[in-house]
Amino acid sequence: MAEEMDIRAVLDELAEERRRREGLEKRVEEAERGSAIRAELQKLGVAKLDLAYKAVKDEIPHEAGEMKAFLEKFVGENPELLPARLAGGSGASGGTRGGSGAAAGAVDIDKIRPGMSAEEMDRARQEIARVASQTLREF
C-alpha cells in the first residue's frame, strides 16, 4: 500500500513536471514566433512595430512562407504603419537659393509668437510674402 502511494506521488509529480515543461515550451515558441513576426515587419519598413504586431499577431499563419506573404499584404493595405515620406523630388524647393537676400531676411518660424515686436512681425510678414511669391512663380 505504501509503495502504491509512493508510485502515485511520483506519477503525479511527473505529470506536473510535464505540464510545466509543456507550458514553458509553449511560451518559448510564442516568444520566438513574436520575434519572427516583428523582424519581418521591420524588414518591410514598418515604423509602428508594436501597433502592427498587436493588429496581426492572432491572424498570422504559422508557416514561414505564408507568414511573410500575409505580412506583405497587411503592410500594403495599411501604409499608415510605414514612416512618413519626406518631401523631395523635382518639385521640392531646396530652401534658400541665389543672392536675393534670403539669408539676411530669414525668419525662424519658432520665433513667431503672439506679442512679438512690430518690427519682428513686419520682417516675418515680408519673409512669408517673399517665400509665397517665389513658390507661386515656380508654378
pLDDT by residue (tens digit) across 118-134?
888 888 888 888 888 87
Same domain, 74 and 111: no
Cβ contact 120:111 at 8 Å: yes
88 close to 133: Cβ distance less than 8 angstroms: no
**Residue 40 vs residue 2, higher pLDDT:** 40
Which pLDDT tens digit goes with each residue over 59-86? 988 887 899 999 999 999 988 888 877 6
- Domain assignment of residue 110, given as a range: 102-138
Residue 86 lies in a domain: no
Q: Is residue 4 part of a domain?
A: no
Residue 71 lies in a domain: yes
d(CA 105, CA 127): 6
Distance CA 118, CA 79 (A): 45
For residue 103, CA distances in Å to 52, 72, 106, 126 come to 43, 46, 5, 13
Answer yes or no: is 52 within a domain. Answer: yes
Question: Are both 77 and 132 inside the same structural domain?
Answer: no
- Please spell the DSSP secondary structure of 2-42, one letter per residue: HHHHHHHHHHHHHHHHHHHHHHHHHHHHHHHHHHHHHHHHH
Residue 122 in domain: yes
Is residue 70, in this structure, part of any structural domain at all? yes
